[in-house]
Amino acid sequence: MRVNWWHMIIRVCIWAILLGGCRSVAGDDSAEDLLQQATQFSQRGERAAALSRLDEAIQKFPKTELAWYLRGRENFRAGKIKESLFDFDHYVKLLPKVESQQWERGISCYYAGEFKKGAKQFEDYQTFHNQDVENSAWRYLCVAKSEGVEKARANLLPIESDRRVPMMEIYGLYQGKKTPEVVLAAARDDNQAQFYAHLYIGLWHEVAGHAAEAKTHILEAEKHKIAHYMWDVAHVHADRLRADEKK
């Protein structure tokens, strides 16, 4: 998914925290310290430590919106889907004006099995940014899970131009007009493009009931690591598939 302006502001604030220049909502330096520590742990991939700091920040300063947002992301990365959704829900409760922008919340809804709620989140995001193929794809996935693939395809959110490769080919796949082979050919040998191609082909296969093909592409997507939350999504999905194998 694309980073929206609100998330850009959040990222600027995070960096300001790291430089000691961003005041917390609660106006207490200890809140700043906790968010700084959590962010540093997160950057090093130390999920348990990051979550511990965010838990403490929320316990002490429960009205600090950023802490809930960051914990939602960390909980998702840790595979704690329901906890992640709880955090994102509370974040938009504290800051209702950002609700339409919360695509991460929609993804947590999908993995929590709350497909209708997820579909609504992606419909709302379309009013914020209407040229994001990923948003249309995730809404398709939610609808397919709750009402079937035919209904999802018939009600696919319209996208005219997403310049990222291979997004328009992915959109064509979800429309039923293109094949996975076409998507992969468009991605060529670009690592990021290959990541997105395999991720969305895998998800497309999953809701169609093609478990083996879905697994192949999700695991392949995980191999094409990129510095983006969407790679975390692929990693969490791959972990769930590996866990299912052991049952």
Average pLDDT over residues 200-223: 98
DSSP 144-162: HHHH-HHHHHHTPPP-S--
106 and 142 part of one domain: yes
Same domain, 9 and 84: yes
- The answer to whether the beta carbons of residues 215 and 160 sit under 8 Å apart is no
Query: Do 87 and 112 share a domain, yes or no?
Result: no
Please say if the pLDDT value at position 23 is more than 90: no
First-to-last C-alpha distance (Å) of the chain: 32
Query: Residues 6 or more apart from 8 whose CB is under 8 A from it?
Result: none
Nearest-angstrom CA–CA distance, 215 and 240:
10
Percent of the chain with pLDDT over 70: 89
Same-domain check for residues 156 and 176:
no
Angle of helix 81-94 versus helix 103-112 axis, rounded to 10? 140
What pLDDT shows up at residue 8? 43
Domain count, the chain: 3
Whether 151 and 178 map to the same domain: the answer is no
CA 32 from centre of chain: 25
In the chain, beta strands by DSSP E:
none
Note the pLDDT tens digit of each residue in 141-182: 999 999 999 999 999 999 999 999 999 999 999 999 999 999
Residues 24 and 86 in one domain: yes
SS3 45: coil
Half-sphere exposure of 196 (CA within 13 A, CB side): 26
Question: Which tokens go with 129?
Answer: 């940014």
**pLDDT value, residue 13:** 54
CATH number at residue 82: 1.25.40.10
pLDDT > 80? residue 191: yes
| Pair (106, 125) in one structural domain | yes
Residue 26 has what pLDDT?
41
Residues 138 and 177 in one domain: no
Task: State the pLDDT at residue 143.
Answer: 98
Please identify which residue in the block is written with the tokens 């093909």. 213
Distance in angstroms (rounded) separating the CA atoms of residues 12 and 10: 5
* Domain, as residue range, for 190: 163-247
Query: Based on the domain organization, do 147 and 117 belong to the same domain?
Result: yes
Are 52 and 115 contained in the same domain? Answer: no
Residues 146 and 117 in one domain: yes
| Same domain membership, residue 217 and residue 156 | no
Identify the pLDDT of residue 2. Answer: 62
Of 96, 116, 141, which residue is a domain's last? 96
pLDDT category at 31 given cuts 50, 70, 90 is confident
Give the per-residue pLDDT at 61: 95
CA 29 to chain centre: 30
Per-position DSSP letters for 71-105, written without gaps between them: HHHHHHHTT-HHHHHHHHHHHHHH-GGGGGG-HHH
Q: Which residue has the tokens 């419909």?
A: 123
